């Protein structure tokens, strides 16, 4: 299956639900990954972020095999996701990529995951996701763009706990060129717990920055005439 590393800009756009493009049979040329740069915090972030950096992805932190990837914004409330590039075990070629985000407490699921696979994926066979030796769960593909096909996963709190305690997960798809075969890639869980906690803290920090200023205190009532 073709390799297709992409920037976080595309992944966040897909997560936002941009219109799907028609599926192609020829994959695009691989795009270079965005270069990692150290994250700045507080006032230093505002100083370090030049105008030309707005909208560009960067790696804020690394936790084992996971990256906390963010998009630079003017107000410093940078949206971040966990990211891991998934490679074939034998060749080391990139095959897929996965991003995860914590969801609000009132959501039906605890964590949302987005997995992107090459265009040569047989969509009717769906995508299988398994944690360690657990039973695989099938997820349908949502749409395809010229960069790949997207499946969205809603992980329950129980599944997230299994990921935190596990060693690895697996993503399995069926290639169009060989419907009788399956391609399975490993998702390393090294550093997962700390990475997920960091992503949650980044969302809490964003919410605090986005919180409107307290309303002005009401003017004191005029004294009643004597």
pLDDT at 157: 96
* 127 belongs to a structural domain: yes
- pLDDT value at residue 43: 40
Find out whether 114 and 15 touch, Cβ atoms under 8 Å: yes
Q: Is the residue at 220 inside a domain? A: no
| pLDDT given at position 91 | 84
Could you tell me which residues are beta bridge partners of residue 186?
A: 170
110 in a structural domain = yes
Q: How far is CA 169 from the centre of its chain?
A: 16
Ranges of the chain with pLDDT below 50: 1-47, 214-217
Residue 89 within a domain: yes
- Quick check: is 58 in a domain? yes
Residue 155, in any domain of the structure: yes
Q: What is the CATH number of the domain that holds 111?
A: 2.60.40.1880
In a domain, 134, yes or no: yes
In a domain, 26, yes or no: no
Phi and psi, residue 52, nearest 5°? -70, -15
Quick check: 69 and 58 in contact, CB under 8 A?
Answer: yes
Degrees (nearest 5) of the Cα angle 135, 150, 65? 65
- Is residue 20 within 8 Å of residue 69, measured between CB atoms? no
Instruction: Specify the number of domains making up the chain.
Output: 1
Closest CA to 183 of 127, 131, 144: 127
Report field, pTM of the whole predicted structure over 0.85: no
Residues 81, 92: Cα–Cα separation, whole Å: 23
Radius of gyration of the chain (CA): 21
Query: Residue 14: its pLDDT value, please?
Result: 38
Neighbours of 109 (CB within 10 A): 14
Q: Which domain holds residue 186?
A: 8-15+33-208
Residue 90 CA neighbour count, 13 Å, CB half = 3
């Amino acid at each position: 299956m073709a390799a297709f590393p992409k920037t976080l800009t595309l992944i966040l756009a897909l997560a936002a639900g941009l219109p799907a493009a028609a599926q192609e049979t020829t994959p695009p040329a691989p795009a270079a990954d965005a270069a990692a740069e150290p994250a700045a915090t507080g006032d230093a972030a505002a100083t370090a972020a030049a105008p030309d950096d707005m909208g560009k992805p960067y790696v804020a932190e690394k936790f084992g095999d996971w990256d906390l990837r963010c998009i630079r914004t003017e107000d410093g409330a940078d949206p971040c996701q966990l990211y891991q590039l998934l490679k074939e075990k034998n060749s080391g070629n990139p095959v897929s990529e996965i991003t995860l985000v914590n969801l609000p407490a009132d959501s039906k699921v605890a964590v949302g995951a987005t997995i992107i696979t090459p265009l040569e994926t047989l969509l009717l066979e769906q995508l299988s996701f398994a944690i360690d030796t657990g039973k695989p769960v099938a997820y349908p593909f949502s749409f395809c763009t010229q960069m790949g096909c997207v499946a969205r996963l809603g992980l329950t709190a129980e599944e997230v706990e299994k990921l935190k305690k596990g060693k690895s997960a697996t993503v399995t798809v069926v290639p169009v060129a060989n419907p009788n075969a399956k391609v399975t890639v490993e998702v390393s869980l090294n550093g997962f717990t700390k990475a997920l906690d960091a992503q949650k803290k980044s969302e809490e920090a964003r919410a605090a920055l986005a919180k409107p200023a307290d309303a002005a205190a009401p003017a004191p009532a005029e004294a009643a005439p004597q």
